Amino acid sequence: MLNKDLRLNSKTFNKGVELIPTRNGYGEGLVELGEKNPDVVVLTGDLAESTRVLDFAKKFPERFIECGVAEQNMMGIAAGLAAAGKIPFVSSYAVFSPGRNWDQLRVSVCISNLNVNIAGAHTGVSVGPDGATHQALEDVAITRVLPNMTVVVPCDSFETKKVTLAAASHKGPVYFRFTREATPVMTTDATPFEIGKAEIFYDSQSTNHQSQVTRSVAIVACGPLIYEALVAAKELEGSGIGTIVVNNHTIKPMDEVTITKVAELTGAVVTVEEHQVMGGMGSAVAEVLAKNCPVPMEFIGMQNSFGESGEPDELLEKYKMKSKDIVNACKKVLSRKTD
């Protein structure tokens, strides 16, 4: 099941699941950046501990700005800092940033293509008991539509740290999202990561995997739900259905070459995301394939609904984002394939 070339986390796949919140990688990345680059500045809206920027604040207090519950002002401050040559990281819950300050993001940051990095925490229904008001499910849609914006959805804590480090030297604004709950660690420090380049995490016919089943469907996923996609791939293979699982972490600019290739190889695609299916990663994949390789598609994610309070796993179950739901979507899309 493991693609050794990617140097994924064998502990997760072979010895039990290692769980770490993706937001931890953000905090670790900021501290490392702070030590290397004196221009890095961190801002938050009264959420230093929750967004994991507290360690940066303690170590570099002169480069930490507590903006209070004033997210629109915070984005304006970040724009001014970037215009003056600093590298600001704006840290809040995604429903507040980019949710509440979208106008400032659009006008003050994106129009001028400033190097502002926006970290959106507490995304998806796995936020849990905080409920619909705090479960960001629209943030990818409202950011990817903005010109000059880069949008990334890391899969685990290691990849979140890599996004944080890469964003500091990336030209233009970057939005990346992460979750509250501890989620499976699928990668390692050595796993390749590059903004704009999708990675194939699993292939039924790869040189490192001896399965003889034919690739029948590509599962294109982002964020921690990639783990559910990998579990689904293993189950599907047991019933003779081969898959390719893609870690499509960069929603914009999307890796059109890889997405088109896996669609050509399989002839069917299922997208998986903890976000509204309308306007999210799945919609972006559909846009790519409509131009390059139209194939039957199914979409796993929130189906035009808000979330609610509950335990994270209960909510993923209710809103059909678990491995069994991915399996069912794969079987459904296969029934629509034409040879």
Whether residue 227 is found in the same domain as residue 269 = yes
The SS3 assignment for 233 reads: helix
Say yes or no: 166 and 196 in one domain: no
Neighbouring C-beta atoms of residue 210, cutoff 10 Å: 8
Q: Does the pLDDT of residue 98 top 50, yes or no?
A: yes
Q: Is residue 339 part of a domain?
A: no
Q: Residue 205's pLDDT is what?
A: 86
**Do 271 and 135 sit in the same domain of this protein?**
no
Angle formed by the axes of helices 256-266 and 281-292, nearest 10°: 70
Q: What is the pLDDT of residue 214?
A: 87
How far is it, in rounded angstroms, from Cα 218 to Cα 209? 16
Q: Same structural domain for residues 218 and 172?
A: no
CB 123 within 8 A of CB 280: no
Please tell me whether residues 322 and 207 are part of one structural domain: yes
Q: Which of 161, 184, 207 is the last residue of a domain?
A: 184
pLDDT tens track for 115-156: 999 999 999 999 999 999 999 999 999 999 999 999 999 999
pLDDT at 4: 46
Which of 158, 184, 210 is the C-terminal boundary of a domain?
184
Question: What is the token pair recorded at 188?
Answer: 């390692």
Whether the CB-CB separation of 242 and 235 falls below 8 Å is answered with no
Whether 71 sits among the annotated catalytic residues: the reply is: yes
| 114 and 202 fall within a common domain | no
Q: Which of 28, 49, 71, 159 is catalytic?
A: 71
pLDDT reported for residue 206: 76
- The whole-number pLDDT of residue 210 equals 61
Confidence of residue 338 (pLDDT cuts 50, 70, 90): confident
* Contact assessment for residue 256 and residue 293, using Cβ atoms and an 8 Å cutoff: no
Dihedral angle over CA of 219, 302, 136, 114, nearest 10: 50
Clarify whether residues 175 and 198 are in a common domain.
no
Give the count of alpha carbons within 13 A of 294, CB side only: 3
Clarify whether residues 242 and 153 are in a common domain: no
Give the tokens for residue 62. Answer: 């002169």
Residues 133 and 240 in one domain: no
Residue with tokens 């129009």: 111
CATH number of the domain that 198 lies in? 3.40.50.920
Q: How confident is the model at residue 62 (pLDDT cuts 50, 70, 90)?
A: very high
pTM exceeds cut of 0.85: yes
In this prediction, residue 339 has a pLDDT band, given cuts at 50, 70 and 90, of low
Domain interval for residue 94: 19-184
Integer Cα distance of 288 and 276 in angstroms:
18
Region 178-196: mean pLDDT is 95
Structure confidence by residue, pLDDT tens digits, 267-321: 999 999 999 999 999 999 999 999 999 999 999 999 999 999 999 999 999 999 9
pLDDT for res 213: 83
Predicted confidence (pLDDT) per residue in 22-54, tens digit: 999 999 999 999 999 999 999 999 999 999 999
Give the 3-state secondary structure of 156-196: CHHHHHHHHHHHHCCCCCEEEECCCCEEECCCCCCCCCCCC
pLDDT for 144 equals 98
State residue 16's pLDDT score.
74
3-state secondary structure of 265: helix
The domain that holds 146 is classified in CATH as 3.40.50.970
**At CA 129, angle to CA 247 and CA 143, rounded to 5?**
45
Rounded average pLDDT over 309-335: 97
* Confidence band of 7 (pLDDT split at 50, 70, 90): low
Q: Do 201 and 90 share a structural domain? A: no
Residues 179, 202 within the same domain: no
Range 171-181 average pLDDT: 96
**Structure token digits, residue 306:** 């808000």
Instruction: Specify whether 178 is located in the same domain as 199.
Output: no
Q: How large is the average pLDDT for residues 237-261?
A: 97
Structural domain count of the chain: 2
Q: What is the mean pLDDT of residues 191-218?
A: 87
